[in-house]
Amino acid sequence: LTPAVHHFEHRLFLFALDLDEVPALAGRLALFSSGRPNLYSFRDGDYLPLGEPAHLPAAPAVPVRPGAGLRERVAAYAASQGVDIAGGRILLVTLPRVFGYLFNPVSFYFCLDRSGAPAAAIAEVTNTFREMKPFFLRPDPADAARGVFHLRVPTHFYVSPFSDVDVAFDFHLRLPADRLAVHIDDYAGERRTLTSTLTGDRRALTSGRLAWFTFKYPALTLRVISLIHWHALRL
């Protein structure tokens, strides 16, 4: 919105993965694997690398045991924020590796407690230097039952040469059901400088649909990083 007006809209698809179901999915889908190469591959170590300050600048120190899996790291991070999600469901909305290449500007974890109630969300932001920073969101008291999460917080994190490191992110997330609804604004003081939305319809994850989406959206992660630099060049 400022100092120059610039607008774009692009189509893509994302995976919404229940972390407990990843091994079963990898066994069922021909084009998707967990922990080994494939057209689409999911690796625990690509996400939330707690205890690695080179990848998580300014992130809180969270003790985790060596070799902890992603589910355990997410639960440990939530516990460090005073939220117990042990035994609950964790849904990760992300792009896995495509042809071995990984880049996610932001991934979202939606966490339910043991009773199935929305408990927390995490927005894991990654810049083009592969530095990551997680932002922890609690349910919005005004709409917690429907899985609405809200957080406005200074980033203290380098995201873009067009944004100061002390710009504030204003997150509005909704627990995915039939649709995904994510809205993130940037604020410099009380002035909104950028607005971004991520919306889409839910589709079942099948081998046939994954093959069709691969044809429809080829080399997706490479396309995302290329478009980031293309728009930066235009600006």
Summarize pLDDT for 144-203 with one digit per residue, the tens: 778 999 999 998 888 887 888 889 999 999 999 999 999 999 999 999 999 999 999 999
State the distance between the two ends of the chain, measured CA to CA, in whole angstroms. 12
pLDDT at position 49, please? 84
pTM: 0.92
Q: Is the pLDDT of residue 225 over 70?
A: yes
153 and 169 Cβ atoms separated by less than 8 Å? yes
Residue 128: pLDDT over 90: no
Q: What is the pLDDT of residues 67-111, one digit of tens each?
A: 889 999 999 999 999 999 999 999 999 999 999 999 899 999 999
Torsion of CA 182, 123, 206, 218, to 10 degrees: 80
Q: CA 207 to CA 29: how far, in whole Å? A: 5
148 φ/ψ sector (left φ>0, alpha ψ -120 to 50, else beta) = beta
